[in-house]
Structure 1
Amino acid sequence: MPTWLATHTASLLLLLACLAQLSRCNQGKVNFREKEKQVLDQILGPGRYDARIRPSGANGTDGPAIVRVNLFVRSIATISDIKMEYSVQLTFREQWMDERLKFNDFGGRIKYLTLTDANRVWMPDLFFANEKEGHFHNIIMPNVYIRIFPYGSVLYSIRISLTLSCPMNLKLYPLDRQTCSLRMASYGWTTDDLVFLWKDGDPVQVVKNLHLPRFTLEKFLTDYCNSKTNTGEYSCLKVDLLFKREFSYYLIQIYIPCCMLVIVSWVSFWLDQNAVPARVSLGVTTLLTMATQTSGINASLPPVSYTKAIDVWTGVCLTFVFGALLEFALVNYASRSDMHRENMKKQRRQCELEHAASLEAAADLLEDGTTTFAMKPLVRHPGDALSLENARTCEIHMQPKRDNCCRTWLSKFPTRSKRIDVISRITFPLVFALFNLVYWSTYLFREEAEVD
């Protein structure tokens, strides 16, 4: 055979071999898809699998079926204080072993079978114990799948949104931390038939950069919460989400405005005591504003029977504003009393002048060497009684008083109304500063103690 003919013959045989191999590969792919259908018909066909019967226990025993659970928290929408609930969207996964679903993977070509109809296989009867509302996601298709692995393992995954109850203790509000739970339990199968366990390793995952409007998710803890009733013991899982309330919002919206209102009410102490319209308007305006602020805060909180930290703050601030208004009433009363005292001083000066005049007259008589005897009249005139009363008043006012440092300092201010204003300028800020010291040290230390 010529050389060129042999070369062409070898090339032709090689080409035919490649075409045959490619044809076998394509034929294998078609058969692979056909094999999946055959496997599904084989394990889930009529009369072959009963979804009403639970799987056997570990190693094919009659023990309880073991279902391992893990969660992926996609988002936390809202945490409501007044309703004591929170909304969460999560991907929920369950995995269990069902030996009736074992199949031939054809040398690893079939990694798993995927289903979208949960009614085809047995499903655990899990429910969320503290759920208020919930719904599945069906856009564009139902967000659910079931994977069946060759060795009989079943993985169920679904995306759901839940509104869950979260009982809160608001004694330290808004310096508080709250723990909201997610509880999952079996509804009908007792622990003799079904047991839920957290997946080993990392049972709960949380999306990165989780943002909440008024809270920060500090950490989460997984635990078990099996419950016993008169119908048996039921398996239960729970995850506790620990939230810390963001204090900066309340500092800007509540605490600083309340401090400003209290300080504005003190401006009344620096106004003239005769500026009645200005002082009354200032006191009433700050009092009404503080009352409106308090009612707005209480409207955003549930009506609880205990006293909250914010109640103490708003109550004391309201008391200071009300005290500033009462201080003006006291100043007004003292001002009228000062006018009466001025009249008494005028009478005292008149008594002193009359007494000095009588002494000068007596001295003149003594110098002249004459002596007179005054006889008491049998009938006393009304003016004589008034003179005696004025004399006693003069004697009372002329009694010496012991001085001290406070009285000496207050004597710089001529009237009692002015002294009340001056004392209030010092007393109100000092007492308010002392209250702040006690308030923040008490509630901040209580917060740290509860965390520990």
Structure 2
Amino acid sequence: MGTGHYFWAIFYFTSLCSASLANNAKINFREKEKKVLDQILGAGKYDARIRPSGINGTANLPTLVQVNMFLRSISKIDDYKMEYSVQLTFREQWTDERLKFDDIQGRLKYLTLTEANRVWMPDLFFSNEKEGHFHNIIMPNVYIRIFPNGSVLYSIRISLTLACPMNLKLYPLDRQICSLRMASYGWTTNDLVFLWKEGDPVQVVKNLHLPRFTLEKFLTDYCNSKTNTGEYSCLKVDLLFKREFSYYLIQIYIPCCMLVIVSWVSFWLDQGAVPARVSLGVTTLLTMATQTSGINASLPPVSYTKAIDVWTGVCLTFVFGALLEFALVNYASRSDMHKENMKKKRRDLEQASLDAASDLLDTDSNATFAMKPLVRHPGDPLALEKLRQCEVHMQPPKRPSCCKTWLSKFPTRSKRIDVISRITFPLVFALFNLVYWSTYLFREEEDETF
């Protein structure tokens, strides 16, 4: 057997020995970890029903629990139910002097448990929770870490549906503040106090995406509450959501503007086109009413007026006004026709009387007549008429206004109403838009309090 074979045999034997020693060391380390767990959590050694002591083991001071969380996702924000759903990793950390152990010269950094009932737990609950559940796929998403100095870290992944009272006065130009409140259920502030962890108590996933909202910022605060049974510690996170306006601009505002403009086409149609103008007005009115009902169906029945109610109400008024304008035009057209018929009858009567008078003059052409005086008396009607005409010619002529001059180009009242409506309706709608957007956009900036 050569020298090379001896070398490889020695190397193989050494590797087996080192692997065996490493496995033994791991076994011994796990055995020591098991012994530590038995020492601190063994039968008769730890009672999970007893609250840990306060700072420095002082029994008469409250237990301090530091809280932090990681927001993994916000799945929906429901305007109708006034609630939102969130998935988060929730963490609590406190110190329990009874759980101190030897770290074996720094080799045992912490102990991990998956059963929360083995140690004392704070009785925290979410006060504005509607629904909630833990995650158990594939294993329960929860762990407890016990550190050598007695510090306990509890972490769990949960999904919650929380109440979010909303003020929809500026909808859809609004911002909403949704809170997440956590409080102690049974322990008063004399026994248990919740604190936000220093540094970064709330973390949010970077690629958080909401379909109709944007999370602008968040703020942590305290919300201790006093009841008949005492004062209870409380923490809260305020999330400021800004509603994405582009969706509502495309789905609501632009279609409503188009319906209003389409209703103005009636002003340019002929007055005699009654079926066309009636069908256009009724169709736009019904479409606008359907649009309004569809918008309100997705919102709760609140007692105040929302910004979208003002918009849809004014647009519906403009469409209805265009329909009423046609009714007025139709009435004026019939009145103009009646006047025209009366004038025609009057002209026919005058023509008939003139024809009769000429026939009478022809029959009496040979009759004698009295000589008319060359000078008329002052009371003569013909002289008074001549004098009145002279006074009229002596008065300075009145300058007609530009509006009257322009309207005089349209002989009938119905045509004038249509022409005035072509100008008045767009101007008033443009003025409304100016007032609406300036009012609600500036109010949005003023009401942005956080």
TM over 0.5: yes
Q: Aligned residue for 2:422?
A: 425
Alignment of 1:39-118 (within 5 A): 39-62=36-59, 63-118=61-116
Alignment of 1:212-291 (within 5 A): 212-291=210-289
* Correspondence 1:411 to 2:408: yes
Q: How many angstroms apart in 2 are the aligned matches of 1:165 and 1:224?
A: 18
Q: How many angstroms apart in 1 are the aligned matches of 2:42 and 2:258?
A: 76
Q: How many angstroms apart in 1 are the aligned matches of 2:356 and 2:398?
A: 26
Question: CA offsets per residue over residues 240-278 of structure 1, 9 Å max, x none?
Answer: 000000000000000000000000000000000100110
Q: How many angstroms apart in 2 are the aligned matches of 1:297 and 1:23?
A: 73
- What displacement does 1:372 show? 9.9
The aligned length equals 416
Q: Secondary structure at the match of 1:414?
A: coil
Question: CA offsets per residue over residues 377-418 of structure 1, 9 Å max, x none?
Answer: xxxxxxxxxxxxxxxxxxxxxxx9984322221110121111
Q: Secondary structure at the match of 2:231?
A: strand
Write the letter of the residue equivalent to 2:331: Y
Q: How many angstroms apart in 1 are the aligned matches of 2:78 and 2:16?
A: 68
- What displacement does 1:340 show? 1.1
Alignment of 1:15-26 (within 5 A): 25-26=22-23
Write the letter of the residue equivalent to 2:45: R
Q: Quick one: structure 1 residues 413 and 137, their matched pair in 2 at CA, closer, same or farther if it must change by over 3 Å?
A: same
Q: Quick one: structure 1 residues 254 and 22, their matched pair in 2 at CA, closer, same or farther if it must change by over 3 Å?
A: closer
- What displacement does 1:280 show? 0.5
Q: Aligned residue for 2:340?
A: 342
Q: Paired residue for 1:30, among 27, 30, 42?
A: 27
Q: Aligned residue for 1:370?
A: 369
Q: Paired residue for 1:147, among 142, 145, 158?
A: 145
Q: How many angstroms apart in 2 are the aligned matches of 1:355 and 1:404?
A: 38
Question: CA offsets per residue over residues 210-246 of structure 1, 9 Å max, x none?
Answer: 1001000000000000000000000000000000000
Q: How many angstroms apart in 2 are the aligned matches of 1:248 and 1:16?
A: 73
- What displacement does 1:141 show? 0.3
Q: Aligned residue for 1:171?
A: 169
Q: Aligned residue for 2:448?
A: 451
Q: How many angstroms apart in 2 are the aligned matches of 1:281 and 1:259?
A: 19
Q: How many angstroms apart in 1 are the aligned matches of 2:95 and 2:206?
A: 31
Write the letter of the residue equivalent to 2:207: N
Q: Quick one: structure 1 residues 77 and 243, their matched pair in 2 at CA, closer, same or farther if it must change by over 3 Å?
A: same
Q: Secondary structure at the match of 2:316?
A: helix
Q: How many angstroms apart in 1 are the aligned matches of 2:191 and 2:337?
A: 93
Q: Aligned residue for 2:391?
A: none
Question: CA offsets per residue over residues 50-91 of structure 1, 9 Å max, x none?
Answer: 000000001111200000000100000000000000000000
Q: Paired residue for 1:439, among 436, 441, 444?
A: 436
- What displacement does 1:28 show? 2.6
Write the letter of the residue equivalent to 1:346: K
- What displacement does 1:345 show? 2.2
Q: Aligned residue for 1:185?
A: 183
Runs of 5+ consecutive residues of structure 1 not aligned to the other structure: 1-11, 374-399
Write the letter of the residue equivalent to 1:281: S
Deviates more, 1:363-372 or 1:429-438: 363-372
Question: CA offsets per residue over residues 86-133 of structure 1, 9 Å max, x none?
Answer: 000000000000010000010111110000000000000000000000
The alignment yields a C-alpha RMSD, in angstroms, of: 2.9
Provide the identity percentage: 82
Q: Secondary structure at the match of 2:322?
A: helix
* Correspondence 1:332 to 2:362: no
Deviates more, 1:230-239 or 1:23-32: 23-32
Normalized against structure 2, the TM-score is what? 0.87
Q: Quick one: structure 1 residues 16 and 427, their matched pair in 2 at CA, closer, same or farther if it must change by over 3 Å?
A: closer
